[in-house]
Amino acid sequence: MGWTPRSAEILRAVAAYQLAQEALAASFAARWAKALAAVEAREVAGSLSELEAAYAAAVRESAAASYALSISFYRLVRALETGRVIGGPGYRPGASLGSLWQDFNSLTGKRTGSGPRTPLPVDTRNPFPAEDLKREAERAAETFRHQVADRVAKHERERAGRGSAALDDAELMAWEREFLESLKTGGSGAGGMLVQDGGRDMIHTTLQNDPGALGYYRKTDANPCYFCALMAGRGAIYKSKRTAAFGAHPHCHCQAVPIFSRRYQLPAANDRFSRMWRDFGGGSLADWRTYYSKTTKT
């Protein structure tokens, strides 16, 4: 009661969170690129199980970081918006805006904000689901199969079909390079999605368990695709019994930002996408795609 949402601080936290999630996907991608770089194109098929182990370990590590970061972010935004602190993993007695900012700053590695040390009133419930390690491992295995193992098998078949004299050296090298590049891009895009889902899916589920949460909106990266811009332009999605899945895609760095007060404030980009949608005036998704790419290019 009587608490005014600290909108400017919240928007700073939201921007820092989106960048930190994007950085987790990037560090995962770098790790995957390094694992691939250690193998010659002709050795990839024989090294699949090592590559898969490296892939799974990198997903696990970065997704765990995303999970911890996202809990800290959720708790911070909730406190800035309502003046109350929520229990669950990482909760410490006597938590204040100062201590919540400190936790968040240390997980993002940047000092984005600070606050008073006055302990906040506590909602003791724990709305945060535990990490679903089994499901995550299954998704990582499935992603690896689609993005890496299947491509390797296809490449091996093509190589066998070609015979030894079909390509000269330069062509052959370019072909192998392109193959390795496709493993790198495909594996990092889909894996980066799993990494960010460690936190993104968690927040989406937590909303449903937290009576204090009203819904969420989509915070995009600096250069979102037409689909994500459209979703962000819709503003807040109030939660219901059947809140639809978040709908991230490979190479997407959009995040779910929880809201706890009708007085929430959207980032400027979301308002810009709403205006763009109104100016567009309706049409098919394909029309919107054309309109969006024309409008954002100029």
Based on the shown chain and the rule CB under 5 A, indicate whether residue 252 belongs to the binding site for Zn ion.
Answer: yes
Nearer to Zn ion, 87 or 250 (CB): 250
Q: Which stretch binds Zn ion (CB under 5 A): 106-114, 121-129, 183-191, 224-232?
A: 224-232
**Shortest reach from residue 173's CB to Zn ion, in Å:** 35
Joined together, the tokens standing for residue 10 give 């919240």
**Shortest reach from residue 220's CB to Zn ion, in Å:** 6
**Shortest reach from residue 260's CB to Zn ion, in Å:** 23
What is d(CA 139, CA 161) in angstroms, rounded to the nearest whole number? 32
What is d(CA 38, CA 28) in angstroms, rounded to the nearest whole number? 16
**Shortest reach from residue 23's CB to Zn ion, in Å:** 16
CB under 8 A, 24+ apart: contacts of 2-9:
3/82, 3/83, 4/263, 5/80, 5/81, 5/82, 5/261, 5/263, 5/264, 5/265, 6/80, 6/81, 7/263, 7/264, 7/265, 9/80, 9/113, 9/115
What residues contact residue 110 under an 8 Å CB cut-off, 6+ apart? 16, 20
Residues 111, 132 contacting (CB under 8 angstroms): no
Binding Zn ion by CB under 5 A: which of 41, 76, 85, 228? 228
**Shortest reach from residue 254's CB to Zn ion, in Å:** 3
Based on the shown chain and the rule CB under 5 A, indicate whether residue 231 belongs to the binding site for Zn ion.
Answer: no
Based on the shown chain and the rule CB under 5 A, indicate whether residue 213 belongs to the binding site for Zn ion.
Answer: no
Q: Which stretch binds Zn ion (CB under 5 A): 6-14, 95-103, 226-234, 235-243?
A: 226-234
Residues in the interface with Zn ion (CB under 5 A) total 4
Q: Which stretch binds Zn ion (CB under 5 A): 9-17, 40-48, 253-261, 276-284?
A: 253-261
Joined together, the tokens standing for residue 75 give 């708790």
Nearer to Zn ion, 252 or 259 (CB): 252
Based on the shown chain and the rule CB under 5 A, indicate whether residue 254 belongs to the binding site for Zn ion.
Answer: yes
What residues contact residue 223 under an 8 Å CB cut-off, 6+ apart? none
Q: Checking DSSP bridges between strand 237-238 and strand 215-219, what pairing results, if any? A: antiparallel
Nearer to Zn ion, 207 or 228 (CB): 228
Nearer to Zn ion, 62 or 261 (CB): 62
Greatest distance between any 2 Cα atoms in the chain: 79
Nearer to Zn ion, 227 or 280 (CB): 227
Nearer to Zn ion, 141 or 269 (CB): 269
Nearer to Zn ion, 15 or 167 (CB): 15
Based on the shown chain and the rule CB under 5 A, indicate whether residue 257 belongs to the binding site for Zn ion.
Answer: no
CB under 8 A, 24+ apart: contacts of 156-165:
156/45
**Shortest reach from residue 227's CB to Zn ion, in Å:** 7
Q: Which stretch binds Zn ion (CB under 5 A): 113-121, 197-205, 254-262, 289-297?
A: 254-262
As a whole number of Å, the CA-based R_g of the chain is: 22
Interface residues toward Zn ion, by CB under 5 A: 224, 228, 252, 254
